[in-house]
Amino acid sequence: MRPTDALKIIKQLLPGALLLAALLPLRPLPARAAPAQARVVGIQIAVSPHIYRSRRVFEARLEEAVSAAVRQSGRRPGEELVLVLPEHFGTFLSFLDELGPIYSAPSRPVVAGLQVLTSPRFMAYHLKSAWKARNPGILATYFVFQNLLRYKAEGLWKTYTEVFSALARRHKAIIVAGSICVPRPEDLGRLLAPIYGTSAVFGPDGSILGIARKVHPVLEETMFLTPSPAADLKPIKTPAGLLGVLICSDSWFEDTYLSLRGAGFLAIPSISEGGHAVFSKELKGIKNNQLDVAEPQGGGPGSVMSQLLARGAAGRIFLTGASGAVQPLLSGRMWDLESGGPGIIVRRTGKKVALEFVDSIEGRDTFMNFLWLKKNTGAGGKL
C-alpha cells in the first residue's frame, strides 16, 4: 500500500472514530493513593504553675503550642499528623481553679500545706483518707498530692479528655496527650483508689484510640503511683499505623519494649527533674527506678546522657521493630520542680540508628519532627 492510499483511509475513518469516542463514557483516572507516611511532632511545651489557673488559660496555652506545631510540621494533604506532648503535662490539671497563692508558692511542700489548710472540703477528704490508710503523715507532700488526685479524679479525667478530644478534632491529628495521674475509669471517685501514670491517645475524630499506663514509676512517683503490669502495655491502632507509648522511665526497661513488639513508631512522653544539669552528671546506677547520679569523677559507667542512650530507645528500639521514636521533655518550672534538657529523636534503618537532639528552652516551645513510614495496623491497647 502506498503512503497516499493509507492517508486516504485514515481520513475516511477519522470522523467515525471521533463520534464513537464522544459517545463512550469517560473512564476517570485512578485516584492517587494516600501518602504512605505520617508526620510526627514532639512538642516540648513550656509550662509554669500559672497556665493551670483555669481551664480557659490552659486551653489557650495548649492551642498556642499545638497550632505552632501543626504549622511547622510540613504536613501535606492526605498525610496523618501525630502530636506527642510531654509527661505530666495533664497531671498538673489537678491544680485548676485554686486560690492565687497556690500558683506563686515557692515549693511543692508549701503547695501541699496550702491545699490542706485553704480547702475545708479537701481537708475533710484528706483526713478521712489518712485515717483509713493509717497514714500519720497528714502534711507529707506526696500523700497530700496523692489524695488531691483522688479527690479531683472525676473532674480531672473529664477536663483532660474533653480538652484533648476537641483539640484532636480541630486539628485532624492523632494526639498522644502527655500523661495524667488518675485511677482507672471504674475507680474514679473511690477512696484510696490506686493511681496510675496514664497516657491517652486521641484520634482525628476525637475518640480515644487507646491508653498506656506507666509500668516503672521512678522512686518519687512510687509515693503516689501504682505500677501497671507490663502485660497490659500493647501497641495502639491508629490511622497512621501501630503506635507504641512508653511513659518516660518505661523507656529504660526491656520488658516494656518487648510488650510493644510490632509497633511502627514509639512515642515517649517524658520529664527530666533537675533540668539540663542532670544530663552532664555521672550515672552511678539505677536504684528503685530512680537515676542515682553524682558530679563527674571519672572511672564510672558514663554520663547520664550516654547511659540513657544505651539503656533507652536508642539501644532498645530494635526489640519492637519500630522505625523511630520521639521523646519530648516538659520544659520549665513547676514551683521547685525544674524540667528540661535535650529531647531525643531516634531514626532506625535496619540495624543502624541515627540520633537527633532538640534542646528545650525555658519559656519557649520547641518541636521535634519525624517522618514515619506507615505500617499495617493491628490490635490496640485496652482502656
Q: What is the dihedral of CA 141, 146, 150, 151, to 10 degrees?
A: 0
Which domains does the chain carry? 38-372 (3.60.110.10)
Q: How far apart are CA 23 and CA 282, in angstroms?
A: 80
pLDDT at 310: 75
Dihedral class, residue 135 (left if φ above 0, else alpha if ψ from -120 to 50, else beta):
beta
Give the torsion sign (CA, 268, 83, 156, 332).
positive
pLDDT at 334: 97
Tell me: the pLDDT tens digits for 295-348?
Answer: 444 445 566 667 677 789 999 999 999 999 999 999 999 999 999 988 999 999
CB 54 within 8 A of CB 339: no
pLDDT at 273: 80
pLDDT < 70: residue spans in the chain: 1-36, 275-276, 278-305, 307, 374-383
The pTM of the full predicted model, rounded to 2 decimals, is 0.85
pLDDT at 274: 72
pLDDT at 74: 93
pLDDT at 20: 42
Q: What is the 3-state secondary structure (H, E, C) of 115-147?
A: HHHHCHHHHHHHHHHHHHHCCCCCCCHHHHHHH
> Residues in the chain, how many?
383
Q: Which three cell numbers stand for residue 16?
A: 467515525
pLDDT at 34: 46
Buried b (16+ CB within 10 A) or exposed e, 288-320: ebbbebeeeeeeeeebbbebbbebbbbbbbeeb
First to last CA, the chain: 79
Q: Which amino acid is at 297?
A: Q
